[in-house]
Each structure stands twice: as C-alpha cells, then as structure tokens.
C-alpha cells in the first residue's frame, strides 16, 4: 500500500474543500497526482519509528503514516469508504474501519487537526504548517503507497499555493453508486450454478443491489457421530440490508465489481446476535521500505497488523463436492506471503471467516453450508437410528411401520424413509 505524507493520520479533519462537502455522508478522498490514488484506512497501528521523528529536524523531513494507505483501484475496497461529518467552523471528522482520524493521529503523540484549503490537507505540527501528501516520486507506479506528513520545506514551490505539485492536492468525492461506488469482487474463486460467492466485513451498514444476497451462519452440527458430514445453517438477511460490523457471505450474479454495487447506509440497524462468522478489518504487513503484495518475497516485517490463518481454529469460504462450504484449505480466500519458513497465510482485510474449536478441527475439516430447509432435513436424518427390525427389505416410516414390501418409491409423498435399511429423502 502506498504511504501518504500526512499532517496527521486520523483525527479531526477540517476540510475546506467545502465546495465538495455537502454534509455528513460517505465520501472518498482522491489524490490529484497522475496516479490518482485514494486514501484508505488500512491499519490502526503506528510504528515506533514514526512516533520518534521530528519534522523540524531536517529539510524535506517526512513521517510515514502507516494507518493511511493510498490505493489505485478503490472500487472494491471498503477501507476507502470514509464517513465524514462535522462543519466548516469545527472541522470535519473522518471515520472508517472502526476508527476515526482523531484517534489515529493521537497515536503518534500529537494532537493534530487536519484542515483543508484549495485542495490541500494541512495542519500544525511542532509549530509548523505541514501537509498530507501521496508518494510523489512514485506517482505512476501501480503499487499502493502510504500517506506521509511533510514539512513546509518539502514543497517544490515556496509560497505560490497554485503551483504546488498535484501529489499534495486532494479531491473530496461523495459515494454516489455511479463514478464513486463500492462494488463486491468475488475473489475466492467460488462459482456454483452461475452464482458467485465471497465474504464481506465492513464498519458501515449497506444495502445490497438487485441480484445479490447476504447470509450468516446461525447454527451447526460438526460431530459426525450425529451427522453424516459436518453441516452449518445459512440464514439469509431479509431485505438485503446488512448491519454495520456484520461478517457475511455474499451471493452475486456476476464476478464483476461494477455489477455488484452496495449502497453504504447511515442507519443504525439492529445487530444480528446469533451470527457464528467473525470478521477482520485489517491485513497490513509492512516490510522494510514498503508494503508488499501477497506475491512478493520478503522476510523482515517491521510492522504487522494481520491475523494469521490457523487451520486448527479457522475455516474460510470454499467448495466441497461442488457445494458451498467452509473449508480448511483455500488459498484464494487468504492473503498469502512468502516467508523464510514457508508460506504465511492471513485473513484478508474486510473478509469473514468461521472460528471453530481446536477440538473440532479433526472432524470439521470441511463444513457443508445448507439453507434452513436443507439443514433441517440433514439434521433430522442424522438423528434417526435404524434398528434390526427396520434393516429388512422394503420401505419403512421413521417410526418403523412398513409401508412397502419392495424398494420402489413411486407414489411416496415427500419425506424421510428407511428403504432397504438405509435412510433416504424422497422429494
């Protein structure tokens, strides 16, 4: 992720780009440099090194703000959706990923207020006016950067506000589901019957668009002494409105983010109490020099805020026998890095996973996900005990009443039967 040079990381943010601010709501902040990257809240930690730097100690001094990353492709990244509120008189507050700008800035030991004028984001720091900037020397690179706070001396022109390089200028853009939108990108590689599946975990509530569904897991049976295979029940969120902080499984009709738009909602929706899924806001691994993507080889992480995937305690979205499942092995559902001792695997940012008990790991290797009607049938079948009297040829009810001498099921009503000694479902 590209770093931003910022006068503060997250804090009260006064932004007289007010021609672009139309009141409280969801926005994105886009850099005006040629790379046109967006600010995202990608981390909630700050390195000890950043806390110790003084901008007054030298020319062109800057502080990396690891919490703020700038990214090129923002359409499918929930971390770029910033809820902004406040006023011109008192300043604007940015909120995202469960944090606000004030708490992030204070983490470097400075009480900073980020303000804006003519597209600049600036503040006071150690008696100086400092600015938020993208990585100017990497404007055309495809990598993500971080934000930085830079001092007055780092500007290329001294007093001419109109001639500052574009990497220190920003645009405030309201999320409108047209040019600025959040789309869902099914990245786990799961396609079943022309439907695509992924997981999502956001700090804001949202409304699904037509053709999309959201599910959570509300109960399970993992013990194979009672079921033929580990199963969990998928419960659909009716109405397509997902509360904030709710990890879910999303069903889409397309694998293109532009077709899977969701609308952020400024609503306090009731929380779902029986959801067994868990979620993760951050997966930030900072290596020496820059943040690496999942395919790059580095071994010396200097700042890590990521949840390592544990096969004994976690399951991620996948496929089992052509059906949707929570599985113990699906690299496409994980962020994978190469480490000296093998591959490091992490829960990706803004994704969901299923926690399990270590004692369940051996039996719940793969967990079939079933809709309520299917789950009830599977659970009912598993609890039927076939005694010796019902192991003879013919068709029996679950109570042991013989209703057919042979195994012909023609004309039987839908239900569960014991046929030639084996439980079967007739539909």
Alpha-carbon distance of 82 to 203, in angstroms, equals 10
- Tell me: pLDDT of 171 over 80: yes
Q: Please say if the pLDDT value at position 123 is more than 80.
A: no
Distance CA 213, CA 239 (A): 9
Bigger pLDDT: 257 or 148?
A: 257
Whether residue 293 is predicted with pLDDT greater than 50 in this model: the reply is no
Q: Which of 114-128, 279-293, 369-383 has the highest mean pLDDT?
A: 369-383
CB atoms within 10 A of CB 261: 19
In which region does residue 148 sit, left (phi positive, over 0), alpha (psi from -120 to 50) or beta (all else)?
beta
Give the pLDDT score at 76: 95
* Residues 271 and 243 reside in one and the same domain: yes
Annotate 135-193 with DSSP letters as a single string.
Answer: -GGGTT-SS-EEEEEE-GGG-SSSS-GGGS-GGGBEEEEE--SSSS-EE----S-EEET
**181: its two tokens:** 């939108």
Residue 230 and residue 135 share a domain: no
User: For residue 365, what are the domain limits?
Assistant: 183-381
Beta bridge partners of 327: 316, 366
Note whether 116 and 13 are same-domain residues: yes
Q: What average pLDDT does this structure show over 396-418? A: 79
> Would the pLDDT of 147 be above 90?
no
Instruction: Give the global pTM.
Output: 0.80
E strand map for 194-313:
195-200, 205-208, 213-221, 231-236, 241-242, 248-252, 261-265, 278-280, 284-287, 290-291, 301-305
Task: Assess whether 278 and 418 both reside in one domain.
Answer: no
For residues 227 and 306, state if they share a domain.
yes
Task: Specify the number of domains making up the chain.
Answer: 3
**pLDDT > 70: percent of the chain:** 66
Q: Give the domain-ending residue among 111, 144, 174.
A: 174
Specify whether 112 is located in the same domain as 224. no
Q: Which of 110, 143, 174 is at the close of a domain?
A: 174
Q: Whole-angstrom Cα distance, residue 411 to residue 405?
A: 14
Q: What is the pLDDT at residue 116?
A: 57
pLDDT value at position 348?
Answer: 94
Tens digit of pLDDT for each residue in 243-262? 999 999 999 999 999 999 99
Tell me the mean pLDDT in the region 400-426: 80
Q: State whether 61 and 119 are in the same domain.
A: yes
Express each pLDDT in 263-290 by its tens digit: 999 999 999 999 999 999 998 875 444 4
CB 380 within 8 A of CB 238: no
CATH number for position 149: 2.80.10
CB of 218 within 8 A of CB of 252?
no
Residues 50 and 86 in one domain: yes
Same domain, residue pair 396 and 359: no
Q: What are phi and psi of 51, to 5 degrees?
A: -70, -25
Judge whether 254 and 185 are in contact, CB under 8 Å: no
Mean pLDDT within 188-213:
95
Q: How many CB atoms lie within 10 A of CB 273?
A: 6
**Within this chain, do residues 239 and 306 fall inside the same structural domain, yes or no?**
yes
Q: How far apart are CA 80 and CA 256, in angstroms?
A: 18
Give the residue from 219, 218, 197, 235 showing the smallest Cα distance to 318.
197
Last residue of a domain, one of 153, 174, 195: 174
> Which one has a higher pLDDT value, 135 or 242?
242
Residues 353 and 230 in one domain: yes
pLDDT of 241: 97
């Amino acid at each position: 992720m590209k770093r931003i040079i910022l006068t503060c990381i997250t804090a009260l943010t006064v932004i007289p780009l007010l021609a672009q601010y139309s009141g409280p709501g969801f926005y994105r902040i886009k850099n005006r440099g040629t790379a046109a990257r967006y600010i995202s809240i990608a981390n909630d930690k700050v390195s000890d090194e950043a806390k110790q730097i003084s901008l007054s100690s030298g020319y062109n001094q800057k502080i990396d703000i690891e919490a703020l990353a700038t990214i090129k492709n923002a359409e499918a990244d929930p971390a770029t959706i910033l809820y902004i509120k406040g006023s011109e008189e008192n300043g604007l507050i940015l909120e995202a990923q469960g944090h606000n700008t004030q708490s992030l800035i204070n983490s470097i030991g400075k009480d900073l207020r980020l303000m804006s004028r003519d597209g600049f984001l600036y503040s006071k720091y150690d008696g100086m006016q400092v600015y938020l900037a993208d990585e100017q020397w990497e404007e055309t690179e495809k990598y993500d950067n971080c934000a930085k706070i830079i001092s007055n001396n780092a500007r290329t022109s001294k007093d001419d506000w109109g001639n500052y390089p574009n990497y220190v200028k920003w645009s405030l853009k309201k999320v409108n589901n047209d040019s600025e939108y959040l789309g869902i990108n099914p990245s786990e590689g799961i396609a079943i019957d022309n439907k695509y599946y992924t997981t999502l975990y956001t700090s804001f509530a949202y409304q699904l668009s037509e053709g999309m569904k959201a599910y959570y897991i509300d109960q399970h049976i993992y013990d194979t002494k009672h079921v033929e295979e580990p199963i969990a029940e998928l419960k659909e969120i009716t109405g397509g409105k997902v509360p904030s902080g709710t990890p879910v499984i999303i069903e889409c009709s397309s694998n293109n983010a532009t077709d899977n738009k969701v609308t952020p909602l400024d609503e306090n929706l009731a929380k779902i109490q029986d959801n067994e899924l868990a979620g993760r806001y951050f997966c930030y691994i900072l290596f020496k020099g820059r943040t690496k993507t999942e395919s790059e080889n580095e071994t010396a992480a200097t700042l890590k805020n990521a949840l390592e995937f544990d096969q004994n305690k976690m399951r991620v979205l996948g496929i089992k026998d052509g059906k949707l499942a929570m599985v113990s092995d699906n690299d496409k559902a994980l962020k994978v890095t190469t480490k000296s001792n093998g591959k490091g695997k992490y829960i990706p940012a803004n994704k969901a996973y299923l926690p399990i008990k270590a004692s369940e790991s051996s039996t719940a290797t793969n967990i079939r996900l079933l809709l309520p009607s299917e789950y009830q049938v599977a659970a009912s079948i598993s609890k039927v005990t076939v005694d010796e009297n019902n192991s003879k040829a013919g068709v029996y009810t679950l109570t042991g009443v013989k209703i057919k001498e042979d195994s012909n099921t023609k004309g039987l009503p839908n239900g569960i039967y014991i046929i030639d000694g084996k439980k079967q479902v007739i539909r």
